[in-house]
Structure 1
Amino acid sequence: MEDEVDRLVAAWRRERPDLDVEPLEVLSRVSRLARHLDRARRLAFSEHNLEPWEFDVLTALRRAGTPYQLSPGQLLTQTLVTSGTMTNRIDRLAKKGLVERLPDPSDRRGVLVRLTDEGRDRADQSLAGLLAQERAILGELSRAQRTELAALLRQLTAPFDNIPG
């Protein structure tokens, strides 16, 4: 079975035989897959009237467990955005009734962001939709193939996850 990346690699090998284009065979496929995954995620989130960034914040709070709350700093760490961006996102989610701000009992100047019941329901529903989309993308891969692919991708991504900033 030939795909678009095979054609792209063959063309580069023909045009630039002096270069080793082997990385394209893996990373061009990862890039193309990422675009398909992005489309599938947007579809899953839009079915629940969420933007991808809203899903990220809501599910970070949902994963925190009862009472589904985190400090803005903890949300920054999990979503990899700046503090100004996070403040704006919390404001927008609070206006929609998906999160609420509460005083932090351990820090008089601090706040906690808590998921509302509606926010929890939207996070849960959109996660179920996302998983259905992702299962479709994985298609006919066996459980063993999925496990192997996950392990190989972990080898590639783990060093990036351990880089500060």
Structure 2
Amino acid sequence: MNRDSVDMIIEQWRKEVPDLSTTAMAIFGRLQRINKHVGRSLGNNFSRFNLNSGEFDVLATLRRSGEPYMLKPTDLYNQLMVTSGAMTNRIDTLEKKSLVMRVNDVSDRRTVYVKLTEKGLKIINEAIYEHVNEEEKLLECLSKEDADMLNIILKKIVCKFEKE
């Protein structure tokens, strides 16, 4: 197997502090490096649609919610795990781009929904396929079995955090 930059770091620690357990350090070091590379690659893809990752997440969340592609801002920020302030900024930006609109509830005008516009629906319908294609390219070094196993392992870690 090829060596990566984390191997050098782990070797240095083993030399300097031989009794230090480095397995978790190696795993999280690799996850951080992967995250940087993935963020850069996906960010380049989002920019083709004049979006950033946060804006894409809002559009994708509205799209996967099903027709009428409309959610309350609180549902959006809870699903995306961001603050209400961050969500307001994302909605404002997407509204200026005419990709979403705020809609008042007909039965309770105090309730506001965020809804995909036709333009927003068109963009996310195209962007989601490009996004998945880019993700698949990033994982092309893995066999199907490796990808399935990695997914299972990562799910175990996510479940640990979501139970806390």
TM-score (norm. length: structure 1): 0.92
**Cα distance, 1:123 vs structure 2:** 1.3
Count of residues in correspondence between the two structures: 163
**Cα distance, 1:24 vs structure 2:** 2.0
- 1: distance between equivalents of 2:17 and 2:117? 57
Which residue of structure 2 lines up, in the alignment, with residue 81 of structure 1? 82
Amino acid at match of 2:56: F
Q: Deviations over 1:18-60 (max 9, x none)?
A: 3111212222111111111111110110011101111011111
**What fraction of aligned residue pairs are identical, expressed as a percent?**
40
Question: Does 2:7 align with 1:10?
Answer: no
Written as runs of structure 1 = structure 2, the 5 A alignment for 1:122-161 is: 122-161=123-162
After superposing on structure 2, the runs of 4+ consecutive aligned residues of structure 1 that deviate more than 2 Å are 105-108
Question: Is the contact made by 1:40 and 1:130 (CA closer than 8 Å) also made in structure 2?
Answer: no
**3-state DSSP class of the match of 2:66?**
coil
- 2: distance between equivalents of 1:77 and 1:161? 13
**Cα-Cα RMSD:** 1.4
Structure 2: any 5+ residue segments left out of the alignment?
none
Amino acid at match of 1:128: Y
**3-state DSSP class of the match of 2:112?**
strand
Amino acid at match of 2:122: D
**3-state DSSP class of the match of 1:39?**
helix
- 1: distance between equivalents of 2:8 and 2:125? 40
Closer/same/farther in 2, CA of residues 106 and 14 from structure 1, 3 Å limit: farther
- 2: distance between equivalents of 1:115 and 1:99? 4
- 1: distance between equivalents of 2:33 and 2:151? 17
Question: Does 2:102 align with 1:105?
Answer: no
**Cα distance, 1:133 vs structure 2:** 1.6
Which residue of structure 2 lines up, in the alignment, with residue 69 of structure 1? 70
**Cα distance, 1:104 vs structure 2:** 1.3
TM-score (norm. length: structure 2): 0.93
- 2: distance between equivalents of 1:118 and 1:60? 16
Written as runs of structure 1 = structure 2, the 5 A alignment for 1:41-52 is: 41-52=42-53
**Cα distance, 1:106 vs structure 2:** 4.2
**Cα distance, 1:63 vs structure 2:** 0.7
**3-state DSSP class of the match of 1:108?**
coil
**3-state DSSP class of the match of 1:100?**
strand
Of 1-10 and 100-109, the range deviating more from structure 2: 100-109
